[in-house]
Amino acid sequence: MTLKNSLKTAITGLRVNKMRSALTMLGIIIGVASIIAVLSIGRGAQNLILDQVSGLGAKTIIIRPGREPKGPSDFSQLLSDSLKERDVKALEKKSNVPGIADLTPVLTTAESVNSQGETYGATILGASDLLSKILEIWPKKGRFFNNEEIKQRASLAVIGSEVKNELFGNSEALGKKIKIKSRNFKVIGVLPQKGQLSMFNIDDTVIIPYTTCQKYLLNINYYHLILVQAKSEEAVPEVEKDIKLTLRELHKIENTSKDDFRILTQTEIAQRVKTVTGILTWLLMVVAAISLVVGGIGVMNIMLVSVTERTREIGLRKAVGATNKDILMQFLLESVILTLFGGIGGIIFGVLLSFGATFSLSKIVSLGWNFTFPITGALLGLGVSACIGLVFGLYPASQASKKSPIEALRYE
């Protein structure tokens, strides 16, 4: 029998029992759809998180105080005041860390900001003027504070676009006073709309000199973190090493496991995100795979029923000249076509599902979460469904091919 005829025969066989074929496909459709959805939503989520954390650019390095927590009861928080002025001074020395281009201490706190009766809950960032260079945020109106003003602990503020809208609406903000913790700050700059940059949402932020923040808002003598920009992406590992050496020497740390600071590079953050989303994706894939196996068993079950029901047909086909191989091919093709169509249905369904999920999630978190057609997932789904048809169709098909023509013709 030619392949074309085998295909025709198999398709006719399936069409005779449309409802049953469709129901059998359902298991495969669901399995493949979940593979597609898991892969593409997983990829999307990963990209989203990566966008968020790596919004700082690959040259940026974050130094945090404290130790990498080793477990839930680790008191690493006790060391959270380990980064102070002397550390910044040491790092600024070219002889210590030659690869650094810019660095700024950073303090963060949340305060309500008042102006002319309007109140807004903003994030306060205490930093140096270099923050503007590192994060690439330039005031669209006004200016940043300068070094001199930082030294004087001046009460100046650069405000994000959201803060400006909430407090001043359409009216001019430059030169106006805003009140933070009963202290008046003069607005000297307004930032353009910028959105999320790593852990900072620039739009609802008020940036003030770090010295002012330390003394008047928080009353502490340490920093929450130090933001460092290396001269180039290639220099990052070297800079990381030099920072470690410098700080260890300064803090008199001999055992590296006793470090009282942590260094986060963008590649490291990306790596962590990828590891976590990767593990999640794999876990979900296992679930999807199990549902595919269940679908495959469903296919085998239905094919066995079909073979029994069509015993007479098999006998007749053999009587008029079908070889064992012809019968084997017919039933194997039936199950492969069944699962292949299930696979195609699953791909369509899965793509719609992940498109819908992407669309609604991007609405909810109002972020650009781009939908990408999961080509790998689609090919994988097709391949896997065809294999399932082969594997789970083989036993029923060989049962069919082994039937003796007279037994089959005699079957009632």
Partner 1 sequence: MALIEVKNLEKIYFDGGVETPALRGVSFSISEGEFVAVTGPSGSGKSSLLHILGFLDRPTKGEYRFGGKTIDELSDIDLAKTRNKKFGFVFQNFNLLPRTNVLENVKLPLLYSELKEKVQEELAKKAIEAVGISHRISHLPSQLSGGERQRVAIARAIVQNPKIIFADEPTGNLDSKSGEKIMKIFQELNKIGHTILLVTHETYTAQYAQRILKMKDGKIANDVKVTNQRLVEKDGFIK
Residues within the interface to partner 1 (CB under 8 A): 1-2, 5, 9, 12, 16, 312-313, 315-324, 326, 404-406, 409
CA distance 336 to 3: 14
Q: Residue 405 Cβ, how far from partner 1 at the closest point, in Å?
A: 5
DSSP 8-state symbol, 169: T
Could you tell me the two tokens for 34? 């979940």
Our CB check for partner 1 shows the closer of 106 and 322 to be 322
The distance of closest approach from Cβ of residue 400 to partner 1 in the complex, given in angstroms and rounded to an integer, is 15
- Beta carbons of 202 and 164 less than 8 angstroms apart: no
Q: How far apart are CA 179 and CA 7, in angstroms?
A: 79
Least CB distance to partner 1 at residue 327 (A): 10
Cβ contacts of 251 within 8 Å, gap of 6 or more: 82, 260, 261
Q: How far is the CB of 393 from partner 1 (least distance, A)?
A: 20
For partner 1, the closer CB: 320 or 364: 320
Using CA atoms, how far apart are residues 97 and 144, in angstroms rounded to an integer?
26
Q: Pick between residue 13 and residue 27 the one whose CB is nearest to partner 1.
A: 13
**Contacts of 118 by beta carbon, 8 Å cutoff, 6+ apart:** 166, 167, 168
Helices (H), ranges, 169-265: 210-212, 236-251
Rounded to a whole number of angstroms, the minimum distance from the CB of residue 285 to partner 1 is 40
Length of the chain, please? 412
Residue closer to partner 1 (CB basis): 151 or 325: 325
Nearer to partner 1, 13 or 65 (CB): 13
Cβ(193)–Cβ(227) under 8 Å? no
Residue 160 near residue 189, CB atoms below 8 Å: no
| DSSP secondary structure letters along 16-36 | HTHHHHHHHHHHHHHHHHHHH
Closer Cβ to partner 1, 11 or 386, answer by number: 11
CB of 350 to partner 1, least distance (A): 33
When the beta carbons of 288 and 333 are compared against partner 1, the nearer one is 333
Beta strands in 191-296 (DSSP E): 196-197, 200-201, 205-209, 225-230, 261-265
Give the residue with the Cβ less far from partner 1, 12 or 116: 12
Closest CB 371 distance from partner 1, rounded Å: 43
- Least Å from the CB of residue 312 to partner 1: 7
